[in-house]
Chains A and B, each alone.
Chain A
Amino acid sequence: IAGITQAPTSQILAAGRRMTLRCTQDMRHNAMYWYRQDLGLGLRLIHYSNTAGTTGKGEVPDGYSVSRANTDDFPLTLASAVPSQTSVYFCASSEGTSANTGELFFGEGSRLTVL
């Protein structure tokens, strides 16, 4: 089934540890995104990539990094996790670039708890 796969689905992490959330899509979409979703707040964009080889900063990029070596993969790395990064993380993709009005397709989310 085509779509977006995220891993892990859930993780408990000690503060200060490094963590990479994986995201893979098989729809050959150009644009990919990482969001975090916190209770009472709207989805907030962390980083995005309009096409393979390019990345950009979203609304809340501090403490996170991404890479886009190919079309399918868009991992999100927390270099040194802090408790405020406890959240549900969603990876998403869209057929066009971020300037396109196309709908977003979301992965199932990764629930991260930093203690």
Chain B
Amino acid sequence: GQNIDQPTEMTATEGAIVQINCTYQTSGFNGLFWYQQHAGEAPTFLSYNVLDGLEEKGRFSSFLSRSKGYSYLLLKELQMKDSASYLCAVLDSNYQLIWGAGTKLIIKP
């Protein structure tokens, strides 16, 4: 079966750095997405990786290793507004999106 694993919940301090990991086992791979979802709101797109390496976008970076079936989302200079759930999703060989359950990130002052 296809599987996306992420930690259920993480806690970090305002101003710090946090890394949210995602491991996947899917039938084929055509890219990996990260979405942010604030409580009670819709998910919004953060990043897309299809090649190995690091993609940087402001305070957020996303890393991919296809050989290891692994990605992480790195958030720097954490702000209170970064408190949200972060969803990892993989596009499989049929171009269907397989979603992880999400990681709830709690930011403390």
Task: Give A contacts to B, CB under 8 Å.
Answer: 40-45, 58, 90, 98-101, 103-109
B3: nearest chain-A partner, CB-CB: A42
Query: Is there a chain A Cβ closer than 8 Å to B50's Cβ?
Result: yes
Measured CB to CB, the closest approach of chain B to A5, in angstroms, equals 11
Query: Do residues A101 and B45 form an inter-chain contact, with CB atoms below 8 A?
Result: no
Q: Which of B48, B91, B99 contacts A43 (CB 8 A)?
A: B99
Q: A99-B95, A108-B41 are in contact. List 18 more A-B contacts (CB 8 A).
A: A42-B4, A42-B87, A42-B89, A42-B98, A42-B102, A43-B43, A43-B89, A44-B99, A45-B96, A45-B97, A58-B96, A100-B95, A104-B43, A104-B97, A105-B45, A108-B42, A109-B41, A109-B42
User: What 7 A-B pairs are tightest by C-beta distance, nearest first?
Assistant: A42-B99, A106-B42, A103-B45, A43-B99, A99-B95, A42-B101, A101-B31
Query: Do residues A43 and B87 form an inter-chain contact, with CB atoms below 8 A?
Result: yes
B50: nearest chain-A partner, CB-CB: A101
Bound state CA distance, A85 and B14, in angstroms?
Answer: 38
Contacts of B62-102 to chain A: CB distance below 8 A? 87, 89, 91, 95-102
A111: nearest chain-B partner, CB-CB: B40
Interface of A, helix, strand, loop or mixed by DSSP: loop
With A99-B95, A101-B30, A101-B91 as known contacts, state yes or no: A40 contacts B101, CB within 8 Å: yes
With A98-B96, A99-B95, A101-B30 as known contacts, state yes or no: A41 contacts B42, CB within 8 Å: no
Query: Is there a chain A Cβ closer than 8 Å to B44's Cβ?
Result: yes
Contacts of B43 in A (CB 8 A): 43, 90, 104, 106
Measured CB to CB, the closest approach of chain A to B84, in angstroms, equals 14
Contacts of B44 in A (CB 8 A): 106
A109: nearest chain-B partner, CB-CB: B42
14 contacting pairs across A/B (C-beta < 8 A): A40-B101, A42-B87, A42-B98, A43-B89, A44-B99, A45-B97, A90-B43, A99-B95, A101-B48, A103-B45, A103-B48, A104-B35, A104-B45, A105-B45
